[in-house]
Amino acid sequence: MLIHPGFDPVAVRIGPLAVHWYGLMYLAGFAAFLWLARRRLRHEPFRSLGWQPRDVEDMLFWGVLGVILGGRLGYVLFYKPMTYLAEPWRIVAVWEGGMSFHGGLLGVLLAMAWWARRQQRPWLQVMDFVAPCVPVGLALGRLGNFINGELWGRPAPPQLPWAMVFPAAGPQPRHPSQLYQMALEGLLLFALLWWFARRQRRTGEVSAAFLVGYGVMRFAAEYFREPDAHLGLLSLGFSMGQWLSLPMIVAGVALWAWARRRSAAL
């Protein structure tokens, strides 16, 4: 079995300033979005509709706000509401850690709705543009979790070749679930969505594919990830991450059906 390398979570120190690997992964994720979105401009219908690089840059600004504010508030509301209700001033202490993908998703949805309204563009068209550009950033975020040695997996059989001991979790070998999630929700989802979105699709289909794809992959990966210690497993033996993924899957299926019916009615 393997032992987690115990990386220093601080990548660079400049005097009193400490730059953490996790923060660098966020920056790399935003840069990856910018690079991919500029290439997405070549896809239909966006090329014919006259989307421009400045649209991507403006969208990224609002998306960053949605990720950070939504991710933080989602963590507060979904994972530790009582803790932050007792100490509300800690909500802004982002350096202590604590971000939620599902909260970040809601934040991005709202930010893109705001941007779409300002630009007088259909919201679902905007989300179809954004969806394939997101998973690479998710993969980088999971890499940051692995570097930090956090969000480790459930106990694994010692004979599993890639079972790993995370010192902070004790001597028991565990699944490196951060890498599972990086591979599934990040790299595999990106490859599938990018391939699917290269051809023009019905409005809403790419967004639906993202919701279902992420929801299913996250739900599966949660079986290998250690549940949050203060929450444990909830009803039906599901983790909080699984319960939050179920509405995504349902919404994705509903959106896909709506896109098909709308296309047939036109």
> pLDDT, tens digit, for every residue of 52-103?
999 999 999 999 999 999 999 989 988 888 888 888 888 887 766 778 889 9
Residue 197 pLDDT: 96
pLDDT at 264 over 80: no
Structural domain span for residue 162 = 2-265
Residue 107 pLDDT: 94
Q: How many residues does the chain have?
A: 266
CB distance 211 to 195 below 8 Å? no
The predicted model gives 146-151 an average pLDDT of 93
DSSP 203-235: TTHHHHHHHHHHHHHHHHHTTTBPPPTTT---G
CB distance 194 to 130 below 8 Å? no
Measured distance CA(166)–CA(19) in Å, rounded: 23
The reply, when asked if residue 54 is annotated as ligand binding, is: no
Write the single-letter amino acid at 28: A
Which pTM does this prediction carry? 0.91
CB distance 165 to 6 below 8 Å? no
Q: Tell me: the pLDDT tens digits for 156-171?
A: 998 999 999 999 999 9
CB distance 15 to 123 below 8 Å? no
Residue 88 pLDDT: 85
The three-state secondary structure class of 163 is coil
pLDDT band at 206 (very low <50, low <70, confident <90, very high): very high
pLDDT at 115 over 80: yes
Nearest to 74 by CA among 96, 97, 105: 105
- Compute CA 125 distance to the chain's CA centroid, rounded to the nearest angstrom: 20
The predicted model gives 16-22 an average pLDDT of 86
For residue 205, the number of C-alpha atoms closer than 13 Å in the C-beta half-sphere is 14
pLDDT at 266 over 60: no
The predicted model gives 110-115 an average pLDDT of 96
Measured distance CA(28)–CA(24) in Å, rounded: 6
pLDDT band at 117 (very low <50, low <70, confident <90, very high): very high
Residue 132 pLDDT: 97
Measured distance CA(154)–CA(152) in Å, rounded: 7
Q: Tell me: the pLDDT tens digits for 221-254?
A: 999 999 988 889 999 999 999 999 999 999 999 9
Measured distance CA(73)–CA(78) in Å, rounded: 8
- What total of structural domains would you count in the chain? 1
φ, ψ of residue 45 to 5 degrees: the values are -90, 5
Measured distance CA(144)–CA(263) in Å, rounded: 41
